Amino acid sequence: MKYETLLDNFKEKRILVIGDVMLDAYILGNVTRVSPEAPVPVVSLSKKENRIGGAGNVALNLKNLGAKPIIASVIGNDTDGAILEELFVKRGISTLGLVKSAKRKTTVKTRVISAKQQLLRIDSEDIHPIDDKHEAQLLQKVEELIPKEIDAIILEDYDKGVLNQKNIALIISMAQANNIPITADPKKENFHYYKGLTLFKPNLKELKDGLNIDFNFATEHNKFNDAVNALRHSIPHEVSLITLSEHGVYVCDAESSARIPAHKREITDVSGAGDTVIAVATLCLLAKANIQDIAKISNIAGGMVCERPGVVSISLQELKNEVRELL
């Protein structure tokens, strides 16, 4: 009952998601032979799909969990951008924060999948930083949206050029000035700029890359603890939530810490698991969950999507069922 009530508090929360959105394209088929032209499989096409990806997948997770997400990003003024915007509208995700640029192309990740296994990925993207004009337009939209009863902000960084040192600092400052919780899922390029967050969620690789260190988590726990201390010292924030793949998740704040082990699952595809974790962690934060419960529920949610092929989201009822079974 405790967790049921907590999860019900996800509903109607207005979350502003800022970051790199992309179109996830899927080519699905069957492999029955090897090409005579080269040692590669021949995929017999069954169907093609377009899905919302990147920061958009965070918004999609939030929507499916009962929240009201608003997406803020810069996309290309192109066919793929139009497809992506239409997908947002169809899924009931507000596009009030979208900016279109004729100088960029919309990021598209095309995955070839057979028998639930990813065979190949093709990326079409511009990863240079957004220009001053479009950055100003994005920040103006964010500034206009924040007073409109926004409950939390998520910064979802895929190193595709939307987020940078300047706008990260400005957005965090806006959130603090309005007493709005702000969380982030980082990548290497901007790793050290996320100072002042409510919750910071790197994965283990991002932690190592961001701090430029290396260690074996399974055998060198002291080095991991040192890394967490260095993270909290160099990038001050309230809650650290570090996903550890097959080792589960680690969470800490100024007063306590815990490692939550992963649940046994049949892993199909880890794509998008981090998107689900940051969405669920942010909603748990708003529901006033303690840090152990934030970690436990986020851990379950991230594991659920790893059992499915491609980038997917989970529903509130699916999460409730899984939490009821495992906690």
Query: In this predicted model, what pLDDT tens digit does every residue of 184-213 receive, in sequence order?
Result: 999 999 999 999 999 999 999 999 999 999
| φ, ψ at 215 (rounded to 5°) | -165, 165
Does a structural domain hold residue 220?
Answer: yes
Does a structural domain hold residue 122?
Answer: no
Does a structural domain hold residue 66?
Answer: yes
Which residues are CB-contacts of 144 (< 8 A; sequence separation ≥ 6)? none
User: CA-CA distance, 166 to 163, in Å (whole number)?
Assistant: 8
User: CA-CA distance, 274 to 76, in Å (whole number)?
Assistant: 24
Q: Mean per-residue pLDDT for 268-277?
A: 76
Q: How confident is the model at residue 148 (pLDDT cuts 50, 70, 90)?
A: confident
Tokens read off for 18? 């800022």
Can you give the CATH number for the domain in which 301 is found? 3.40.1190.20
Does a structural domain hold residue 176?
Answer: yes
Q: How confident is the model at residue 305 (pLDDT cuts 50, 70, 90)?
A: confident
Q: What is the pLDDT of residues 94-126, one digit of tens each?
A: 999 999 999 999 999 999 999 888 899 999 999
pLDDT of residue 262: 84
Catalytic annotation present for 80:
no
Strands (E), the chain: 14-19, 21-34, 41-54, 68-76, 94-101, 108-114, 117-124, 152-156, 182-185, 197-200, 237-243, 249-252, 257-260
Sort residue 166 into left (φ over 0), alpha (ψ -120 to 50) or beta: alpha
Closest CA to 279 of 316, 252, 238, 250: 316
Tokens read off for 152? 């939390």
Q: How confident is the model at residue 268 (pLDDT cuts 50, 70, 90)?
A: low
Does a structural domain hold residue 289?
Answer: yes
Q: How confident is the model at residue 309 (pLDDT cuts 50, 70, 90)?
A: low
Does a structural domain hold residue 187?
Answer: yes
Does a structural domain hold residue 40?
Answer: no
Q: How confident is the model at residue 158 (pLDDT cuts 50, 70, 90)?
A: very high
Closest CA to 79 of 138, 25, 144, 129: 25
pLDDT of residue 263: 80
Q: CA of 230: how far to CAs of 113, 146, 252, in Å?
A: 40, 32, 13
Q: What is the DSSP string of 75-132?
A: EESSHHHHHHHHHHHHTT-EEEEEEEETTS---EEEEEEETTEEEEEEEE---SPPPH
Indicate the number of domains in the chain.
1
Do 144 and 70 meet the contact criterion of CB atoms below 8 Å apart?
A: no
Which residues are CB-contacts of 34 (< 8 A; sequence separation ≥ 6)? 40, 41, 42
pLDDT of residue 274: 87
User: CA-CA distance, 80 to 91, in Å (whole number)?
Assistant: 17
pLDDT at 269 over 70: no
Catalytically annotated residue among 20, 24, 275, 293: 275
- Note down the domain range covering 284: 2-21+58-105+127-326
**Average pLDDT value for the chain:** 93
Does a structural domain hold residue 51?
Answer: no
Do 282 and 289 meet the contact criterion of CB atoms below 8 Å apart?
A: no
